[in-house]
A and B are shown apart, each in its own frame.
Chain A
Amino acid sequence: MNKGAMAPDQEQDTPLKSDSMFINLGPQHPSTHGVLRVGLTIDGEMITKAVPDVGYLHRGTSKLAEVRGYHHCVVLTDRWDYVSAMPNNLVFCLAAERLMGLNVPPRGDVLRVLMCELNRIASHLLFFGTYGIDIGAFTPFLYAFREREMILDLFEMVSGARLTYNYIRLGGVMVDVTDEWVAKCREFIEYFKPRLDEYDTLLTYNPIFMARTEKVGLIPPQTAVNWGLSGPNLRGSGVNYDVRKADPYCGYEQYDFEIPLGKTGSCWDRYFCRVSEMRQSVRIVLQALDKLAPGPVMAPGVAKVPKPQPGEAYAHVEGARGDLGIFLVSDGQASPYRMHVKAPSFMNLAILQELLVGNKVSDVIAILGSTDIVLGEVDR
């Protein structure tokens, strides 16, 4: 044991002597939503130091992409944010299409928007449910999963998979939707709209829930921008930054929707941003269903083994967790020369080392849950 480690004990000569305790929150803990470890130094129930430790789920997808064709890389993207895989597919395809100069037909774009928004709903539903569990209410979880199952059924109908879809491909989408699917999707939206009000009565305005989250984990706007947060975590602090508006892709500028903003940057604001985003996503889904004009869904002439010209491209989308970006470098070969993923969860998790200090152990869970991280995306 070195001298530095001994020092805190020796300097305590006051009669009220208290020791701090070190607690490992995770990697096996019900509320870390995956394999995250946070080393907490606590004094009683108060956090004095928090060190998030990630990397337990690192699979090296950037390295793997360098020896795979562009079509194969789409499969890797599914594994980052496995809770909402469609935006992952989309962002890689957007970057690769930018490198290759491909243009997606309008119906393909509408389907991409449709799937991404449905997936945003599914992802926020998962957040809603698990956040309820973090705060101690078990019931919202099953309500949320009831609805999430229906979205997964819709995805299964169209892509055959329920978690890793690989549906959005280079040049468009894998396959067109059927009219039956469109009818089912409308049926789901009709069913889902009243459920959102039900969630508000069940959890959002519950006094205990508000007491637990309202003045906890405050992130001022400047701090949020400085830490590079994105998605509902940034907008919860009142910063109006949404890639769908700031840097539109897939024709998002044609859709009519609003960006819900929080006021104080508390856990409740972040939560409420997500719940409000579900309402906006419902609006976008309905508009996208109306926009579905007949036409091809895949650009003609996508090479089986694409070899784009040497160049660099960056694409980013507003995933369910925030600004998901891909930096793609090509040297003219059949595999990307370099793929860098700018993962929103990774950035949103980094702020915890500052945010957790001074809070109680119960608040750690409330704050950690409100950042809505997916460890698959943090570690990639």
Chain B
Amino acid sequence: MTQDELYSKLAAELPHLEKAQTQVKDYLTMRLPSADRLLETVRALKERLGFDYLEMVSATDWLGPVKPEGYIRNPNPIVFMAEGATPQSIPTATPNFPYRPMIELVWMLANIPEKIRLVLKLEVPREDAAVPSLCGLFKAADWQEREIYDLMGVAFTGHPNLTKILTPEFLQGHPLRKDYVHVKDRFDE
């Protein structure tokens, strides 16, 4: 199945999906209008179109350039060098780039026999970000959603065990959010 065939099929079967403005390079990228129709759409994709392999769950925080305060900056003993190893470069905002207080969730689904992949995108507001969990459809979503919850702070409603997975329990905040600020803990000197 080629991407064009898939697109025409999707347009017929799931007309509420629209082509995303920013396409993930080389893969067909579709945008969901709202979180309500996520489960229904993914179930249709899985059962009717054979997308039974959830390859990736990811999220992007579109707030703007990352804050340097989110990094642990140890004082450098070499006085003429910059403080700490991180950050190596402080990112700045790109002019005219549509930064917005939204978190964009990205799912990548694959149809193994047809050798085709589909990227689903959904934007939710940053404050109290929540989307339905795909755990009921894909067990693969279990840990990936926990990871996104831990690092990005998106609550997946309906997840059976939505707890932190990678960061220690004393860490406050969600490190991959762009406005994350590191709070000193007992491991900082």
Q: Name A residues whose Cβ lies closer than 8 Å to a Cβ of B.
A: 54-55, 58, 60, 62-64, 66-69, 72, 98-99, 223, 225-228, 239-241, 246-247, 310-314, 316, 323, 325, 327, 329, 331-335, 337-338, 340, 342, 346-347, 349-351, 354, 379-380
Contacts and interface: CB of A to CB of B under 8 A. Distances in A.
Nearest to A316: B55
Interface stretch (B1-9, B34-42, B64-72): B64-72
Contacts of B68: 67
B106 A327 contact: yes
Interface of B: 22-27, 29, 52-56, 58-61, 65-66, 68, 70-71, 86-92, 94, 97, 99, 106, 108, 112, 115, 117, 119, 138-140, 142-144, 147, 151, 164-168, 175-176
Contact of B60 (A228, A314, A329, A347): A329
Interface of B is mostly: loop
Contacts of A226: 52, 138-140
Contacts of B27: 314
B3 to A, nearest CB: 13
Contacts of B53: 225, 228, 241
Contacts of B138: 226, 228
A225 B138 CA distance: 9
Q: Nearest 8 pairs between A and B by C-beta?
A: A228-B140, A67-B87, A340-B58, A332-B94, A350-B143, A313-B25, A342-B56, A55-B166
Contacts of B176: 62-63, 338
22 contacts: A55-B164, A60-B175, A62-B176, A63-B175, A64-B71, A67-B87, A67-B88, A68-B88, A98-B26, A228-B55, A228-B138, A247-B115, A247-B117, A310-B22, A311-B22, A313-B24, A316-B55, A323-B55, A331-B94, A347-B143, A349-B143, A380-B166
A314 B29 CA distance: 11
A123 B108 CA distance: 27
Contacts of B175: 60, 63
B97 A310 contact: yes
A312 B25 contact: yes
